[in-house]
Amino acid sequence: MNAVEANFDGLVGLTHNYAGLSEGNLASARNKDMIARPRDAALQGLEKMKRLAARGLPQGVLPPHERPFIPALRRIGFSGGDKAVWERAWREAPEMARRVTAASAMWAANAATVSPSPDCGDGRVHITPANLHTMAHRALESATTTRALRRIFANAERFVVHDALPAHWLLADEGAANHMRLSGEIGAGGLEIFVYGRTGEAGATRHPARQTLDASQSIARMHALSPPRIAFAAQAPAAIEAGAFHNDVVAVAHRNVLLFHEHAFADKQRLLDDIVRGAEGLFDPIFIEISEEETPLADAVASYLFNGQLVSPPGADLMTLILPEEARENPSARSAVEHLTAPNGPIGRFEFLDLRQSMRNGGGPACLRLRVELSPEELAAVTPGFFLTEGLAAQLASWIRRHYRETLAPSDLRDPAIITETRAALDELTRVLPLGSNFYEFQRDG
């Protein structure tokens, strides 16, 4: 048996909605207050997981978080029963009430940064949950994410799940969305690339730069990576301005392939030189650059051409690129895709998926997944029950159909019934996924 690259996807939560919470994420701003379809959103995400599992790729599931998250409102002074807290928050701080309903934990690329064991000094897989410090609604995620990752990667001989970095502006961290890895083969040692939007200095960009160099350096240290096998690269401010709030909107890496937009990095040549140097003796990198002329940044951001999942299905000679429908519909993205699969390249096929519900909040295929490379022994050491089987997929589909609302308008969120409804569903989920009966805060209160 060989090592694998597993994808852990965030199951879309029951309160999936469009609140326009993420400045600099153009889709989130554009679709603010649109009526959301949580059931479709969750089924679209599940369909993607099933598609990858059907290709023979190990597919894990990360649970949605408790939303609305009443404890966060208590922390800022709302008191009384849950219903009273909820009603008063909507009257006095409606923006806060909306933040605590965000289902944004679905975008698992922001859950953590993962370094596979061949890269790490102690030979274990290192995982650092992201503090998601920049956006108030996302900063709520790290505690639950840490708990979930510690359940799944509980075996301390094989895995280390660190604490998230301190929640400070200097250490703002958005996880794997700003981290890439290149290697010869899955399971072999590789080069880890950390992409950051800013240093400690005040932002040079109008939109927030969410990842700092200090955060990236801290993670490289915590994971005990070998300095010759690390590269740091600044995102191009122009990319952030164009709506690439995470690097994975303009670049993706898989095995020895780096696919990126001409304007993704502040100093492209330096990064490519660093990669060539860092790869020495390990692998030959393949760079695939898409020019501004072929696909302007604006189209890259609108189509999520670079937010695909580049995967190596077992038994296939060439890689597959899994893209959102939007990349098929955008003419300049579509033409780039056709060039990508030209003969002699590393990518053999592409597939398109309907992820429109997530896309309207700026989340494409690659946003929804956290990659974890695992040796056969590590795969066997993962807590059983979190990988998608046909049985688990059927159970999740039935759970979604029974509990998710078909539509959710902004005004529906105020309904206090949403608290009991979501808790009943999540309580049941802790038996579908082996999370235990004290995973969510509401399960611990009594």
Residues forming the active site: 174, 246, 367
**Concatenated DSSP letters for 311-377?**
E--TT-SSEEEEEEHHHHHSHHHHHHHHHHTSTTSSEEEEEEE--HHHHTTT--TTTTEEEEEE-HH
Say whether 438 sits in a helix, a strand or coil.
Answer: coil
Q: Are 152 and 60 in contact (CB under 8 A)?
A: yes
Sign of CA pseudo-dihedral 384, 389, 395, 396? positive
The minimum distance between CB 174 and ligand SUG, in angstroms, equals 7
| Nearer Cβ to ligand SUG (196/283) | 196
25 makes contact with ligand SUG (CB under 6 A): yes
Which candidate, 173, 237, 231, places its Cα nearest to that of 202? 237
Q: Which stretch binds ligand SUG (CB under 6 A): 13-21, 165-173, 269-277, 374-382?
A: 13-21
7 makes contact with ligand SUG (CB under 6 A): no
Q: For residues 1 and 5, what is the distance between their CA atoms, to the nearest angstrom?
A: 13
Residues 332-391, interacting with ligand SUG (CB under 6 A): 361-363, 367
Among 20, 56, 385, 416, binds ligand SUG (CB under 6 A): 20
| Nearer Cβ to ligand SUG (12/191) | 12
Beta-carbon count within 10 A of 22 CB: 23
107 makes contact with ligand SUG (CB under 6 A): yes
Among 28, 131, 309, 332, binds ligand SUG (CB under 6 A): 28
H or E stretch including 203?
A: none
| Nearer Cβ to ligand SUG (38/278) | 38
Q: Which stretch binds ligand SUG (CB under 6 A): 4-12, 70-78, 99-107, 191-199?
A: 99-107
**Concatenated DSSP letters for 19-71?**
----TT-HHHHHTTTPPB-HHHHHHHHHHHHHHHHHTT--EEEEPPP-SS-HH
Q: Are 116 and 218 in contact (CB under 8 A)?
A: no
Among 46, 109, 139, 172, binds ligand SUG (CB under 6 A): 109
246 makes contact with ligand SUG (CB under 6 A): yes
| Nearer Cβ to ligand SUG (243/278) | 243
| Nearer Cβ to ligand SUG (28/144) | 28
Q: For residues 318 and 323, what is the distance between their CA atoms, to the nearest angstrom?
A: 16
H or E stretch including 251?
A: strand 251-254
208 makes contact with ligand SUG (CB under 6 A): no
The minimum distance between CB 181 and ligand SUG, in angstroms, equals 15
Letter for the amino acid at 139?
A
The minimum distance between CB 17 and ligand SUG, in angstroms, equals 6
110 makes contact with ligand SUG (CB under 6 A): yes
Q: Are 271 and 287 in contact (CB under 8 A)?
A: no
| Nearer Cβ to ligand SUG (346/410) | 410
Q: For residues 143 and 159, what is the distance between their CA atoms, to the nearest angstrom?
A: 18
Residues in binding contact with ligand SUG, number by CB under 6 A = 23
The residues of the shown chain that bind ligand SUG, judged by CB under 6 A, are 18-22, 25, 28, 102, 104, 107, 109-110, 135, 138, 177, 245-246, 248-249, 361-363, 367
